[in-house]
């Protein structure tokens, strides 16, 4: 459990820095068999720029959450079967012929530049467990920004057999991923100064979520979901629902279903 304790402590330690950025992460579902973490952030960059930054984790991933202790060793190849990998240094005293070690954090299974990216794999201590982890990321231009601001939304869905209690490990993953989106937001800059105010992400069923930040206030209980939408100048009364747009909804909007009816006689 030492690895989990270190992972959890690191996540909690990074919460103060995370809270100052235009980003948010929370556990939206949890059972004994798995959990879902949703991460959102609005950045002052076009979807293309946000994609380029996201796929260059060496520039924003926290070094504390690497095996080598140096984020410069991280690379991501954003094509199907591409690797989100880390290079491990050659041990001291090893012969010149010794190759560097490596870690595959995740593998890309879907990549549509500037729009959507999906990776599979167990992050951190989850790598040693018999679980499936699927991370889907979407990049969407913020309405009214003229393409100069992007909402980055990603969900990490984990399920299977694990020797950790899901309440503990999901909380740790939530905090760590929150720190990562904060790092990415700092790299690109928040969409606007007022976007630094945190708002809770609403679950898909519309229930009020548990806050991960003490004293976090704000509710859209009386808001009409049909009237709530993203805005370039964040509105505290609307941001909750805008941030709560699920990856499934985003992908459904990106990829319209085609009515492919069979020709007559078939």
- For each of the chain's 266 residues, which pLDDT tens digit applies? 444 444 443 443 333 333 334 678 899 999 999 999 999 999 999 999 999 999 999 999 999 999 999 999 999 999 999 999 999 999 999 999 999 999 999 999 999 999 999 999 999 999 999 999 999 999 999 988 889 999 999 999 999 999 999 999 999 999 999 999 999 999 999 997 544 333 334 444 444 433 333 333 333 233 343 333 333 333 334 444 444 455 555 555 555 554 445 455 54
CB 101 within 8 A of CB 88: yes
Distance CA 262, CA 259 (A): 10
CATH topology assigned to domain 2-88+100-199+227-254:
Alpha-D-Glucose-1,6-Bisphosphate; Chain A, domain 4 (3.30.530)
Contacts of 48 (CB under 8 A, 6+ apart): 113, 114
CB 150 within 8 A of CB 139: yes
pLDDT of residue 207: 44
CB 88 within 8 A of CB 103: yes
Nearest-10 Cα torsion for 99, 104, 108, 113: -70
Which residue in 155, 112, 113, 114 sits closest to 243, CA to CA? 155
CB 91 within 8 A of CB 74: no
Distance CA 243, CA 41 (A): 8
pTM for the model stands at: 0.68
DSSP string, 83-111: EEEEEEPPPTT--TTPPPEEEEEEEEEEE
Which residue in 170, 100, 93, 103 sits closest to 131, CA to CA? 170
| Domain parsing of the chain, residue ranges | 2-88+100-199+227-254
Distance CA 86, CA 79 (A): 17
pLDDT of residue 133: 97
DSSP code at position 194: G
Distance CA 245, CA 158 (A): 19
pLDDT of residue 234: 37
Distance CA 242, CA 41 (A): 11
Look at the alpha carbons of 212, 218, 220, 222 in this order and tell me if their dihedral is positive or negative: positive
CB 7 within 8 A of CB 125: yes
CB 206 within 8 A of CB 228: no
pLDDT of residue 256: 53
Instruction: Tell the burial category of 258 from Cβ atoms under 10 Å away from its Cβ (0-12, 13-18, 19+).
Output: exposed
Strand-by-strand arrangement of the 130-141 sheet: 23-31, 34-43, 150-161, 130-141, 116-120, 101-112, 83-88, 74-76
Q: Within 13 Å and on the Cβ side, how many CA atoms surround 179?
A: 21
């Amino acid at each position: 459990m030492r690895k989990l304790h270190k992972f959890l402590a690191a996540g909690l330690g990074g919460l103060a820095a995370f809270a100052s950025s235009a980003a948010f992460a929370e556990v939206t579902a949890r059972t004994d068999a798995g959990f879902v973490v949703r991460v959102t952030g609005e950045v002052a960059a076009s979807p293309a720029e946000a994609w380029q930054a996201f796929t260059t984790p060496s520039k924003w991933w926290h070094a504390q959450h690497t095996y080598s202790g140096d984020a410069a060793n991280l690379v991501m190849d954003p094509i199907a079967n591409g690797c989100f990998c880390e290079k491990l240094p050659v041990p001291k005293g090893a012969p010149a012929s010794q190759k560097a070690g490596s870690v595959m954090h995740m593998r890309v299974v879907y990549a549509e530049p500037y729009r959507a990216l999906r990776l599979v794999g167990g992050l951190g201590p989850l790598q040693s467990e018999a679980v499936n982890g699927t991370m889907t990321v979407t990049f969407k231009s913020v309405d009214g920004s003229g393409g100069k601001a992007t909402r980055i939304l990603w969900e990490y869905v984990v399920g299977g057999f694990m020797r950790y209690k899901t309440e503990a490990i999901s909380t740790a993953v939530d905090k760590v991923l929150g720190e990562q989106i904060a790092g990415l937001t700092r790299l690109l800059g928040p969409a606007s100064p007022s976007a630094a105010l945190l708002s809770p992400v609403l679950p898909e069923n519309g229930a009020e979520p548990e806050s991960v930040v003490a004293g976090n206030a704000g509710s859209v209980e009386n808001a009409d979901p049909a009237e709530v939408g993203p805005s370039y100048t964040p509105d505290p009364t609307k941001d909750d629902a805008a941030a709560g747009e699920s990856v499934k909804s985003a992908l459904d909007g990106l990829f319209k279903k085609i009515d492919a009816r069979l020709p007559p006689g078939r």
